[in-house]
Amino acid sequence: GFVMKYFKFQPIIFFMFFFFFFSCNSEFSRYQKKDKNHLEMAHLIGKVKSVTRYYDGELADIQTYNKYGFTEEELDYSDNEIIKKTTYTYNVFGKIAQEEIKDKICCKAYITKFDEQGNSIEEYEEIYEVYDENSDVTIGKKLQYTYENKYDKFGGLISRKCFRRNGTCQLMTEYNQDGNLSEETEYDEDGSVIRITEYSYSGNYLAVEKTTYPNRHFMYYICYYNHKGQIEKRAKLYEDKSVYEKSEYFYDCNGYVFKEISTWVVTIAYKPNLKTGDICHTITLYDRDNHGSIIKETRMTYYPNEDMSKPKEADETLKFQYKYDGHGNVIYEKNAENEEVKYEITYY
């Protein structure tokens, strides 16, 4: 009766457990898209599977992507021979759990462990094989970084510290109540501050990014963003907040920069009528094709006492050429130095 029924259904129960366990713990099983994937960061359109790049006729590299748009494998070539192979393995959250690199010196992997919320807690370097007997690389596993993550009662990340192998803090990040990055502080091994970056938001959009370098000549670096996430202004400031360099960007209706105005201070008087401390301006104009790629870049420099409202002869004009496939991805480009790059793209 009962005993026979129990054993009869055991294989089904085992199969259900096996399927549930492995499907819930496989790559990307808990993945939720929040940020751009690797295809989007590379400005590739469609379900791209691989991109093979040829530089001036020579095979340079091959990138292979998974169905989620993340890099699975990278192959670097020289003289038509693989000189480096990088393979990526992802965890359930879609984050890189292992990066394995095989080159002419050794085969090694960078392994990351995560907590239940999907944030890294430890990073290791493990060397499996050594091919170059003259190198100082040795087989073994070394701890690279540890992380201390703090959460609020709702599970939201409040702060995160990254510690070096020797126990010193390298980076501390803090988050606001909306989960957005609010401050980032980088430390030297002696505990001194290298930089502090503060982030200000307008609603949920990043509005201002300000970086302070306490021990550098340029104390401040500031970026202003619009509601589309595009940089409108950026500036480098001295300690007294006077401007060393600043740029302003103008966008067309498609979201592409068509004009950039840069203001900069002369540090070396390289022309007879210039002196140190003079303020100059450079206007850069971008002409684009229907895909948004820059086909012509024109630069004009205005020196002191020159009227920026009047056009003048260009200091430099750069021209570029592009060809596209049916998806709108670049398959050929030629830069201003007549260097050619060709792409072979496959799709899922």
Mean pLDDT per 10-residue run, the chain (348 residues)? Answer: 53 55 72 92 97 97 97 97 97 95 96 94 96 90 96 94 96 95 97 96 93 84 94 92 93 96 91 89 96 96 91 92 97 95 98
| Three-state SS at 126 | strand
Task: Look at the block and give the residue holding tokens 């702060």.
Answer: 159
CB 225 within 8 A of CB 245: no
**Token pair of 117, please?**
């919320």
d(CA 179, CA 24): 26
Measured in whole angstroms, how far is the alpha carbon of residue 215 from the centre of its chain? Answer: 26
Residue 188 Cα distances to 78, 147, 169, 170, 316, angstroms? 37, 17, 8, 7, 41
CB 99 within 8 A of CB 109: yes
**Token pair of 99, please?**
């990066």
Find, among 342, 298, 331, the residue nearest to 317 by Cα.
298
Partners of 57 in beta bridges: none
**Helices and strands (H and E) in the chain: how many:** 2, 23
Strands 220-225 and 205-212, by their bridges, are: antiparallel
Q: With left for phi above 0 and alpha for psi between -120 and 50, is residue 105 left, alpha or beta?
A: alpha
d(CA 95, CA 111): 11
d(CA 235, CA 238): 10
CB 195 within 8 A of CB 215: no
Residue 87 Cα distances to 33, 101, 245, angstroms? 22, 7, 41
CB 111 within 8 A of CB 95: no
Residue 306: what residue type? E
C-alpha atoms less than 13 angstroms from C-alpha of 338 in its C-beta half-sphere: 0
- The predicted pLDDT at position 270 comes to 85
